[in-house]
Structure 1
Amino acid sequence: MVGGGYGDVDWLKQEYCAAVSKLRSTPAALSRLGCGFITWKLDQDCSAFDWLLDQPETPAAVMLSFGDAGSWVKRLADRSIPAICQIQRADQLHAVIDAGASVIVAQGSEAGGHGIRSSLGRGTFTLVPEVADILAKVAPETLVIAAGGISDGRGLAASLMLGADGAMIGSRAWATRESLASAMAKQVAIAATGDGTIRSPIFDLLRGKDWPEPYDFRSIRNALHREWEGRESELQARIVEARSRYEQGVASENYDLAHVTVGESVGLIHDTPSSAELITQMVSETIDRLSLNYLL
């Protein structure tokens, strides 16, 4: 799944074409290549989405997160491209079912990066089975994927037992050797615990990312974040000064100032394996856990 991010068409061309080139010699892998977009950004500029739909290598699926996905799901359906829609609350489910989503990602508030603010969010452990139960009644052909706080085979096994058809792995995959995150940021994550993350709009303000309500951003709670907690209005008034310090932190890899995008499962990250090693280990752990449950 190539990240379309904020809809930068040049970035998407570079990354999607690189993925196609890498996978072209393995048709089975190429046939599984997809892309994801931030839905509210598409409402502002859909040029990257338009470009993607015009490619000869049609994406296997497109994921839409954070916003009203209805019109975009319809455009995908017109091209017979399955839509994966991410939700953070059960009351968001019927809209994406009615729109025609093929897969629902149920994202708990434990997740790193963007999600719904904590006062409205749900934990993965309760959101996933509720979504699975609703889908079983009204759209049994629709798959559900658990997201948020899943970093090892225990979490994947739990997701399956809760009724999910699979899991989306974010923070743990971020801390693999292939990840483009800096090696120093990964070491900061390894040293952290799940108690050390926080969800807020502060790093979006510092980065100039104008995220709408009710979404915010989970990351490690570092010194710069602590400085501005509860002072978001003042931060906006002094944004030039504060952003300069943040950007200096990014440039120098000073993670007392720059952000590290991980969720509450960061306390389960202890190394930086390859992606293949991570998946192999998670599958093995999952089988062991499910086998243990069967024996019990």
Structure 2
Amino acid sequence: MGLRSALTDMFGIEHPIVLAPMGGVAGGRLAAAVAEGGGLGMIGGGRGNADWLRRECALAASGTEKPWGIGLLSWAINQDILAAAIAWRPAAIMLSFGDPAPFAPSIHDAAIPLVVQVTSMAEARRALDVGADVVVAQGTEAGGHGGGRSTLPFVPAVVDVAGAVPVLAAGGIADGRGLAAALVLGAAGAVIGTRFEATTEALLDADEATAILAAGASDTILGRVADVAADAGWPAVYPARTLRNAFTETWQNREDELGDDDEALSEFRAGVDRADMDYVPVWAGEAVDLITELHGASALVGRISAEALDALDSVPREHH
């Protein structure tokens, strides 16, 4: 018996698992592999680079006939980028980080399910106001950019205000026990990112994958160093969780100073260009402790779902 939920019913998928649309990591091959495994694959469309999006969507479309979607950054896109995404007729479009209101009507008009990722209760209410079909409650344990709430208390709080709208849990989930916990909290499934970075289909260099396999939660850091150094334009309200490296250790909590230091900024760019791991930002969440092996993404989806079933079945129940 599989794990059925409002998520699996909505998208006709086998397992209540969604690939986090990680920018620069979740390309078409990874999205297709997750879809083939019975989850909902998501391409990390980010700011919507047209050539990149076209290439990766083509890979997904040729790699699977099962549902896959596209994730975009609300603060960074425009209507033209959204129109290009809609033209692929994805199974879902996820908007994250910023106000979804300017873009929700176009997605609704296209009859594409709108998924909105939120990091606060105010954002959750905004997502519901604009008609989100699914809300993703992302905790601060997540890799990459996020907010300031912990997953465990945040998810049920969003579930309570969402009513009939399905809520997904994100942040710190890397195995079936995390998925089981999400379901017990009232979520209809989980959005999983860092675990899928350590797969053969992820757009990650071998050194980055090796770093994730070797890391523990204490090796991650939440801050804005990488964004300031890359002049990425990210809103300051959304810091990013990455693996610690020499550059973050030097500049953490000194971001204002870093932004004015041309020599340090040049040093960062040169280090990233030569793929020096003392400089390269590797997005990774606190569940990185649980990731010790590289897997194929398709098989991983079923494995996580099976682990969740086992975890739920193993909970002792007192009989009266």
Q: Same fold by TM (over 0.5)?
A: yes
State whether structure 2 residue 155 is matched by structure 1 residue 128: yes
Partners of 2:265 and 2:47 in 1: CA distance? 19
The offset of 1:295, in angstroms, is: 4.7
The offset of 1:294, in angstroms, is: 6.0
Q: Which residue of 2 aligns with 1:86?
A: 117
State whether structure 2 residue 234 is matched by structure 1 residue 211: yes
| Of 147-156 and 202-211, the range deviating more from structure 2 | 202-211
Partners of 1:262 and 1:46 in 2: CA distance? 30
Note the 1:87-102 alignment, pairs <5 A: 87-102=118-133
Q: Is the 8 A contact 2:82 2:103 kept in 1?
A: no
Number of aligned residues = 277
The offset of 1:256, in angstroms, is: 1.6
Note the 1:195-234 alignment, pairs <5 A: 195-234=218-257
> Helix, strand or coil: the match of 1:211?
coil
Q: Which residue of 2 aligns with 1:108?
A: 139
Structure with greater contact order relative to length (CA < 8 Å, sep ≥ 6): 2
> Helix, strand or coil: the match of 1:255?
coil
Question: Structure 1 residue aligned with 2:298, among 271, 276, 282?
Answer: 276
Moved over 4 A (4+): none
Give the TM-score of the pair, scaled to structure 2. 0.83
> Helix, strand or coil: the match of 1:270?
coil
Q: Is the 8 A contact 1:7 1:47 kept in 2?
A: no
> Helix, strand or coil: the match of 1:4?
strand
Note the 1:9-88 alignment, pairs <5 A: 9-23=50-64, 26=65, 29=66, 32-42=67-77, 45-53=78-86, 55=87, 57-88=88-119
> Helix, strand or coil: the match of 1:198?
strand
State whether structure 2 residue 44 is matched by structure 1 residue 3: yes
Unaligned residue ranges in structure 1 (runs of 5+): none
The offset of 1:47, in angstroms, is: 2.3
Q: Is the 8 A contact 1:9 1:47 kept in 2?
A: no
Query: Which structure has the highest helix share of the two?
Result: 1
Partners of 1:200 and 1:161 in 2: CA distance? 31
In the alignment, residue 270 of structure 1 is paired with which amino acid?
Answer: T
Q: Is the 8 A contact 2:258 2:265 kept in 1?
A: no
In the alignment, residue 135 of structure 1 is paired with which amino acid?
Answer: A
Question: Structure 2 residue aligned with 1:237, among 247, 260, 283?
Answer: 260
Identity of aligned residues (%): 39
Q: Is the 8 A contact 2:47 2:76 kept in 1?
A: yes
Unaligned residue ranges in structure 2 (runs of 5+): 1-41
Partners of 1:253 and 1:199 in 2: CA distance? 21
The offset of 1:114, in angstroms, is: 0.8
